[in-house]
Amino acid sequence: MSLSDITSRITAAKAEANRPAGSTRLIAVSKVQPDERVRSVLETGHRVFGENKVQEAQGKWPSFREEFGPVEVHLIGPLQSNKVKPAVELFDAIHTLDRAKLARKIASEIQAQGKSPELFIQVNTGEEPQKAGVLPAEADSFIAECRAMDLVINGLMVIPPVDEEPALHFSLLRKIAERNGLSGLSMGMSSDFERAVALGATHVRVGSAIFGERAYEV
């Protein structure tokens, strides 16, 4: 499938849900993909990408940006506190804010660099022990805690459990966002982005449906 097929499917899902055109950003998730596949998507004019590792992104995006001009790169994978400095330098958005220590580090890096990426708080709606994210019951207080650090929170992010109906998780995420006055919803991947769009996604993160299967899982 090509990028333009995905774009048309997003447009169709949006029209069906009576959502205004242009309200969903497509993040092309390029993690682990060979450079030539990423390059071919850049050559179509697409300029919004997602990576899940700081180091991998550092090895790839400075040179692509030199060659193609400004490209928005979103961090969608877990962020360790000791990688916050390069993450704030490199990324336009961080989708995986999920603990106070990380929030404090990001707040001080934003001060130091005078540059602030968009921030999304990851919510572990499935309450899965192995998964990152704040629990739904703790989300309101964590959002308030981040705001008290003067962080501007743009929205929430979720990765639903693989074996459950994602729509339930998308709806829960949206409910938490609404009651906290947050407009951004980062939800939906290759297998479920149309349902996410129907339920209000402002950012979908689509990898394998655009680039093909990844050579290995990360």
Q: Is 76 in the site for ligand PLP (CB under 6 A)?
A: yes
Pairing of the two strands 118-122 and 184-186: unpaired
Q: Is 24 in the site for ligand PLP (CB under 6 A)?
A: no
For residue 15, the minimal CB distance to ligand PLP (Å) is 22
Q: Is 207 in the site for ligand PLP (CB under 6 A)?
A: yes
For residue 205, the minimal CB distance to ligand PLP (Å) is 4
Q: Is 205 in the site for ligand PLP (CB under 6 A)?
A: yes
Instruction: Find tokens 């992104």 and name the residue.
Output: 57
**One-letter amino acid for residue 194 of the chain:** E
Question: 145: number of CA atoms within 13 Å, CB side?
Answer: 15
* Distances, alpha carbon 101 to alpha carbons 11, 53, 60, in Å: 39, 19, 28
* Residue from the set 77, 126, 184, 200 that interacts with ligand PLP by CB under 6 A: 77
Options 79-87, 127-135, 165-173, 199-207: segment touching ligand PLP (CB under 6 A): 199-207
* Residue from the set 6, 189, 196, 201 that interacts with ligand PLP by CB under 6 A: 189
**Secondary structure in 3-state letters for 106-159:** HHHHHHHHCCCCEEEEEECCCCCCCCCCECHHHHHHHHHHHHHCCCCCCEEECC
Q: What is the dihedral of CA 125, 127, 130, 133, to 10 degrees?
A: 50
Q: Is 52 in the site for ligand PLP (CB under 6 A)?
A: yes
* Residue from the set 3, 10, 29, 197 that interacts with ligand PLP by CB under 6 A: 29
Among residue numbers 93 through 152, which ones bind ligand PLP (CB under 6 A)? none
If one counts every other C-beta atom within 10 angstroms of the C-beta of residue 195, the result is 18
- The residue ranges that bind ligand PLP (CB under 6 A) are 29, 31, 52, 76-77, 159, 189-190, 205-209
